[in-house]
Amino acid sequence: MEKSIRAQIRAGDARAFGQVFEDHARAVYRHAVRMTGSWDIAEDVVSLTFLEAWRLRTRVEPEGESLRPWLLGIATNVIRNTRRAASRHRKALAALPPREVAPDFAVELTSRMADAEEIAAAKAALEQLRPADREVFALCVWEGLDHAAVAEALGKPIGTIRSRLSRARTRLRNLTEKELAAKRSANNLQRTDKRGQVTGDRAFAVRSTKETIR
């Protein structure tokens, strides 16, 4: 009788683990990009996730369906650790003399959003969510996992997952609307200022021309 993929992973079958990588690396990478906003960091997260998965292979439950929730749970922990390391790094850099900082280009959060303002507003709003709510939102909405799978991935009760998702959806919607309103108000003000500046310059030019003619 052929062993299940879970049994093969638990037994340390490298070939079977390679197949798991082929099947799920893309999902882990997509999750990491959305959570970190960086393609480069996401690549590191994928590598660290599967290294950790191999280390923890004997903890795989003997029975179950897809290993994706298990891997996304590991990836979420890796991202948490990556954020902590990045925070420590930023604090260390803050202690150094100021230097010119390169612009930080935001990565598109979701392929469903085509408008640049909406992307920027959603990214800003997402960063304001509690980390625990952001993780649940990413796994449920972007990765399409059901509540039970997310509960398995994060090691939390299903009721906790439901409440966090509901809270995240409501808060994200409200925050995105506020971000969009603020950006559009700022853009309108900027356009008004530019129009005023052009009008003033033209008037000044006309007056100067008339004075020169005289």
Residue 43's domain is classified under what CATH number?
A: 1.10.1740.10
Query: What are the C-alpha distances in Å from 161 to residues 72, 102, 148, 149, 152?
Result: 15, 38, 8, 10, 10
Q: Residue 121: which domain range?
A: 112-214
On whether both 214 and 116 belong to a single domain, the answer is yes
Q: What is the pLDDT of residues 179-204, one digit of tens each?
A: 777 777 776 776 666 555 544 444 44
**3-class SS of residue 133:** helix
On whether both 121 and 95 belong to a single domain, the answer is no
pLDDT over 50 at 211, yes or no: no
On whether both 98 and 135 belong to a single domain, the answer is no
For the chain, what is the total number of helices (H) and then of strands (E)? 8, 0
pLDDT of residue 131: 87
pLDDT over 70 at 25, yes or no: yes
Angle between helices 68-94 and 147-154 in degrees, nearest 10: 50
Which residue has tokens 């052929």?
2
On whether both 87 and 151 belong to a single domain, the answer is no
On whether both 122 and 144 belong to a single domain, the answer is yes
Q: Which two tokens stand for residue 141?
A: 């909405």
- Give 30 or 120, the one with higher predicted confidence: 30
The rounded distance, in Å, linking the Cα atoms of 137 and 211 is: 66
On whether both 82 and 10 belong to a single domain, the answer is yes
pLDDT of residue 49: 95
Q: Which two tokens stand for residue 177?
A: 């609307």
pLDDT over 90 at 72, yes or no: yes
pLDDT over 90 at 67, yes or no: yes
Residue 56 DSSP one-character state: T
Please name the amino acid found at residue 102.
A
- Give 160 or 212, the one with higher predicted confidence: 160
On whether both 33 and 124 belong to a single domain, the answer is no
Q: Which two tokens stand for residue 183?
A: 């950006």
- Give 28 or 95, the one with higher predicted confidence: 28
Please name the amino acid found at residue 195.
R
pLDDT of residue 101: 44
Q: What is the pLDDT of residues 105-144, one digit of tens each?
A: 444 444 444 456 666 777 777 888 888 988 898 888 888 8
pLDDT over 70 at 66, yes or no: yes
On whether both 214 and 142 belong to a single domain, the answer is yes
Q: What is the mean pLDDT of the chain?
A: 77
> Of 4, 30, 88, 19, which Cα lies nearest the Cα of 53?
19
Going by pLDDT thresholds of 50, 70 and 90, the confidence category of residue 92 is low
